[in-house]
């Protein structure tokens, strides 16, 4: 099986991260969660109290941004100014802010090289919103992973360590984020023309990965 870049795009909660992890393990390559980059930007904007709607301030902030993926035990971990912030970027507040700031073309441009540089040095599975359409238009294989909204909300609810949120709140947040991510002008969430869409609503992770492997083998 020969491939360089596999892309998996899709809406929030469709199972992209779980599937990317399992697929990359089977393929013996790394997987890159590009949502973590947008979450890291949102986290820094929030903790440094940056007025990101002020263009000059945003530009100055972006020029100081220091995001790097480093390999830790077979996994790429994102560091912001050398600090592992993985445990701080998954809150509902950061999810919503990441969705809002990711609509800004300056933010997207600032993260482009970080994503493409990883692909220079190794084969990888990249997951996000615009992997197949913008960041890696020449990827070896492109997937668009979808699932029913209620099922996505339930999966997110089950992932929460303590059920401190109502499943219907999670459903509303996912709906808002999907709408923002799909309707923005810059690199909106949509399948690439040559992407294969897989509906994971009634499939196990293994079934999704198996379907992907079959497609990758034929490519």
Binding site for ligand DC (CB under 6 A): 12, 34-35, 38-39, 95, 98-99, 102, 128-130, 177, 181
- The span from the CA of 196 to the CA of 19, in Å, is 15
Q: What number of other Cβ atoms are within 10 A of residue 120's Cβ? A: 6
Shortest CA distance to 8 belongs to which of 205, 155, 218? 205
Least distance in angstroms from the C-beta of 9 to ligand DC: 7
Residue number, 92 or 210, with CB nearest to ligand DC: 92
Residue 210's nearest CA partner among 25, 21, 23 is 23
Which pair of structure tokens corresponds to residue 48?
Answer: 């440094």
Query: Minimal distance in Å, beta carbon 91 to ligand DC?
Result: 12
Nearer to ligand DC, 15 or 35 (CB): 35
166 by Cβ neighbours in 10 Å (0-12 / 13-18 / 19+) ranks as exposed
Query: Would you tell me how many other CB atoms lie within 10 Å of the CB of residue 86?
Result: 17
User: Which is closer to ligand DC, CB of 154 or CB of 210?
Assistant: 154
**Cα 198 to the chain's mean position, in Å?**
17
Kindly state the smallest distance separating residue 217's Cβ from ligand DC, in Å: 26
CB of 142 to ligand DC, least distance (A): 13
Joined together, the tokens standing for residue 217 give: 């083998």
CB of 136 to ligand DC, least distance (A): 10
Q: Which is nearer to ligand DC, 28 or 120 (CB)?
A: 120
Which CB, 171 or 214, lies closer to ligand DC?
171
Pairing state between β 5-9 and 124-128: parallel
Q: Which is nearer to ligand DC, 183 or 214 (CB)?
A: 183
- Cβ–Cβ under 8 Å, residues 105 and 186: yes
To ligand DC, the closest distance from the beta carbon of 218 in angstroms equals: 26
């Amino acid at each position: 099986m020969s491939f360089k870049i596999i892309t998996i795009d899709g809406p929030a909660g469709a199972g992209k991260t779980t599937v990317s992890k399992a697929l990359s393990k089977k393929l013996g390559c790394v997987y890159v969660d590009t949502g973590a980059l947008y979450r890291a930007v949102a986290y820094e904007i929030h903790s440094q109290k940056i007025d990101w709607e002020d263009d000059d301030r945003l530009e100055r902030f972006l020029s100081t941004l220091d995001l790097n993926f480093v390999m830790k035990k077979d996994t790429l971990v994102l560091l912001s100014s050398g600090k592992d912030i993985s445990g701080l970027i998954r809150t509902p507040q950061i999810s919503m802010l990441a969705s809002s700031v990711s609509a800004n073309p300056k933010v997207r441009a600032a993260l482009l090289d970080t994503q493409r540089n990883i692909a220079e040095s190794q084969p990888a599975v990249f997951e996000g919103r615009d992997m197949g359409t913008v960041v890696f238009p020449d990827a070896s294989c492109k997937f668009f992973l979808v699932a029913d909204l209620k099922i996505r909300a339930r999966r997110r609810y089950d992932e929460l360590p303590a059920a401190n949120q109502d499943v219907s709140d999670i459903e509303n947040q996912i709906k808002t984020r999907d709408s923002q991510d799909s309707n923005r002008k810059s690199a909106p969430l949509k399948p690439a023309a040559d992407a294969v869409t897989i509906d994971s609503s009634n499939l196990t992770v293994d079934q999704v990965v198996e379907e992907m492997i079959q497609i990758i083998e034929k490519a």
